[in-house]
Amino acid sequence: MIRDRRGSITVYTALFLAAGISAGTLAIDVGRMTVLRSEMQNRADSAAMAGAVQLDGRAGARARALAVASNAATEWSALPSGGGDLARIIHGAA
């Protein structure tokens, strides 16, 4: 049986450090995903409301509503490194 315990703290430190970095990375990814989802939901809500305002029964209301909703849905992301067109992100060309 081996009784020499020198270096055992180093092994535990390396394992806990790897686990801590992994957990931190996962927390950052989940946070970014939550922010992006919130931005996309807000864009979809504002596009629906902006389009609905144009549906007033006058001629060309559907075309106006579609144009306004499309313009309202195109917005830039506030995420620093992934800041880009949300429409591009939504359609998978990120």
Report if residue 3 sits inside a domain.
Answer: no
Residue 86 has pLDDT above 60, yes or no: no
Residue 86: Cβ within 10 Å count: 21
Report if residue 54 sits inside a domain.
Answer: yes
Please name the residue that has the structure tokens 């992100």.
89
Report if residue 16 sits inside a domain.
Answer: yes
pLDDT band at 4 (very low <50, low <70, confident <90, very high): confident
Q: What is the pLDDT of residues 26-59, one digit of tens each?
A: 999 999 899 888 888 888 888 888 888 878 778 8
**Domains in the chain, number:** 1
Question: What residue numbers bound the domain in which 28 lies?
Answer: 8-90
Residue 16 has pLDDT above 90, yes or no: yes
Would you state the pLDDT for residue 81?
Answer: 53
Report if residue 1 sits inside a domain.
Answer: no
Report if residue 2 sits inside a domain.
Answer: no
